Structure 1
Amino acid sequence: MTVSWTVTLTKAGRTKISYPAAQLADDGDRISVRAPWAAEGVKDFGFVRFEPGDVFVEHFWRTRWYTVKEVWTGEGVLKGWYCDVTRPAVVRGGEILVDDLDLDLWVSADGKSVLRLDEDEFAASGLAEADPEAAARAVRALDSLEERARTPEGLAALLV
């Protein structure tokens, strides 16, 4: 039997996106789900395109300040990993709730491209003033993800 979830990503107190996902695993800390690309149309970042048919295998932690999303083509080719710096996931009542803190990391499938994203949005968000502890945890989470991504094992080592 497949367990279904609704993943809800919020940002600054507002729902950014909400979509259905099928549970793959739950070890009590990390919950992993599979979901099709949930946004409308194509999103071209310049370094990667998310498009209809893409499949996301998403990993949420109840204790870590980030999520890791494996991005696959519909044909099963890994595009890379998109990581959101977030507050730890809240899992309850059929929903996975995640609060996006603006910082992101992209890692290409071959590991050669590691890009820190949206640091300007994070600086403009006011989180450092409103919640300095959360802001510090967010920066540490991004640093940790980048450090892990630059090792030979890469982000895949987080998902074993």
Structure 2
Amino acid sequence: MSANSADTPALLEVVLVKSGRTKIRYPAELLADDGTRVTVRAPWAGDGVRDFGFVRFEPGDVFTEYYWRDRWYAVKEVRDVRGVRKGWYCDITRPATVSGGELVVEDLDLDLWRSADGTAVLRLDEDEFAASGLATTDPQAAAAAQDALDTLERLALEGGFEALLAQ
């Protein structure tokens, strides 16, 4: 299914759920949906500037976001207001669902950052993941999340996400 299909809206509401509650929701332009991967584009949806130390997300930044219905992650290419790539922010999530104009993903706390030049590949929030208790409450999901993080780290270290996103 492409973004131009009659049964697919041109806009989706991206809904990021964490610990059973909506963490953030924002409108995004639907670029493509092939039935497995959904690609959307949206401006930075946060309030003001968010400085992580290794990257700043700020008004004017544009995120091209790739979600899969069969994978435990989302990959988000981040560009500044001039269109210069800052890098990729990857969320470890349960597989995405799309229904009623919403793209819903459950954030599992783990994240990965790869700078545009590839010099920084950072595993993030592993302490939050451990504290979430997922390994006890849902060991299969915890293992899938760890595997997803390992896969993304390997791809990031081997040259990036272009081959993954070109599929």
TM-score normalised per structure 2 = 0.93
- What is the distance in 2 between the residues matched to 1:158 and 1:17? 26
1:158 and 2:150 aligned: no
1:25 and 2:32 aligned: yes
Residue 117 of structure 1: how far off its partner (Å): 0.1
**Paired position in structure 2 for 1:114:** 121
The structure 2 residue matched to 1:98, chosen from 105, 109, 128, is 105
CA RMSD for the aligned pairs? Answer: 0.9
Residue 118 of structure 1: how far off its partner (Å): 0.1
**Paired position in structure 1 for 2:94:** 87
Amino acid across the alignment from 1:147? R
**Paired position in structure 2 for 1:145:** 152
1:15 and 2:26 aligned: no
- What is the distance in 1 between the residues matched to 2:48 and 2:65? 20
SS of corresponding position for 2:22 = strand
Residue 60 of structure 1: how far off its partner (Å): 0.4
1:133 and 2:163 aligned: no
Residue 25 of structure 1: how far off its partner (Å): 1.0
The structure 2 residue matched to 1:43, chosen from 50, 61, 67, is 50
**What is the percent sequence identity of the aligned residues?**
67
SS of corresponding position for 2:83 = coil
Residue 28 of structure 1: how far off its partner (Å): 1.0
**Paired position in structure 1 for 2:13:** 6
Residue 137 of structure 1: how far off its partner (Å): 0.2
**Paired position in structure 2 for 1:52:** 59
* Deviation readout 1:101-159 (Å, 9 max, x if unpaired): 0000000001111000000000000000000000000000000000011113x112111
- What is the distance in 2 between the residues matched to 1:157 and 1:38? 27
- What is the distance in 1 between the residues matched to 2:163 and 2:86? 17
Structure 2: give runs of 5+ residues left out of the alignment.
Answer: none
* Deviation readout 1:71-112 (Å, 9 max, x if unpaired): 000110000000000000011110000000000000000111
- What is the distance in 1 between the residues matched to 2:43 and 2:155? 26
Structure 1: give runs of 5+ residues left out of the alignment.
Answer: none
Q: How many equivalent residue pairs?
A: 159
